[in-house]
Amino acid sequence: MRDAAHHNGHRQRLREKLTLAGGDALHDYELLELYLFRAIPRRDVKPIAKDLIHRFGDLGGVAAAPVEQLVTVKGVSEKTAAELKLIQALSERLAREQVIGRPVISSWSALVGYCRTALQHARTEQFRVLFLDRKNRLIADEILGRGTIDHAPVYPREVVKRALAHEASALILVHNHPSGDATPSQTDIEMTKTLAEVCQPFDIVLHDHLVIARENTASFKTLGLL
């Protein structure tokens, strides 16, 4: 009974701290504790939260971790792992709402933020295409390639096929480098050049190609590669 009272008191104090001071006043593991309260209602979740942060680095790393890795942490069941995956889904959905249907030029930082939310913690490469209308508003985001830690297959004609299906006038390419180095590879540069050439006869403009790494983002346009 004493342990239960202690847990309940601790949980109430954390909730009050969040309400009064906001999320910035809490450590990552404390925010994770608050989230885990609903998944594990009758147990001290502080050790679990700390173990998750230690294992995966930060909240983003925890949210992006595969279920099969999350359940290797003591105290994390498949049900709890599924709850943790909800964090990533909500984060991506909220970030997407900041850019969908809006001109990318006026919401560029939000667009980059959305891409980073989706890809900075991914453990294998993904190749995504953002499709824009004539007013440069984002109308769709599709994953057109999944691969290994250092390669995701990309088929330029498939990209153009999807662009025509969306009646898109422009594209932004996005892929991640799980290695942590956002520097475009020679393969990235050659593929982007080929894709730009394939798009040209269809009057589809390639605005940029973003490479997302854990700590930074590289832009082909900024680097003078487009």
pLDDT in tens, 58-68: 888 888 888 88
pLDDT of residue 222: 92
CB of 135 closer than 8 Å to CB of 102: no
Q: Which of 86, 91, 154 is nearest to 119 (CA)?
A: 91
The secondary structure of 110-121 as a DSSP string is HHHHHHHHHHTT
pLDDT of residue 129: 94
Quickly tell me which residue has 């969040």 as its tokens.
18
> What is residue 174's DSSP assignment?
E
Q: What is the mean pLDDT of residues 205-210?
A: 94
Quickly tell me which residue has 């959305």 as its tokens.
114
The amino acid occupying position 93 is R
> What is residue 214's DSSP assignment?
S
pLDDT of residue 90: 84
pLDDT band at 2 (very low <50, low <70, confident <90, very high): very low
CB of 81 closer than 8 Å to CB of 93: no
99-219 carries CATH number 3.40.140.10: yes
Domain range summary for the chain, segments of one domain joined by +: 2-93, 99-219
pLDDT of residue 148: 56
d(CA 112, CA 107): 9
Give tens-digit pLDDT for 64-95: 888 888 999 998 889 888 888 888 888 888 87
Between 171 and 59, the higher pLDDT residue: 171
Residue 124 pairs in a beta bridge with none
Q: Which of 171, 178, 116 is nearest to 146 (CA)?
A: 178
Give me 57's structure tokens.
């680095």
**pLDDT at residue 20 greater than cutoff 80:** no
Burial-class residue 124 by CB neighbours within 10 Å (0-12, 13-18, 19+): middle
d(CA 41, CA 60): 23
d(CA 71, CA 13): 28
Burial-class residue 87 by CB neighbours within 10 Å (0-12, 13-18, 19+): middle
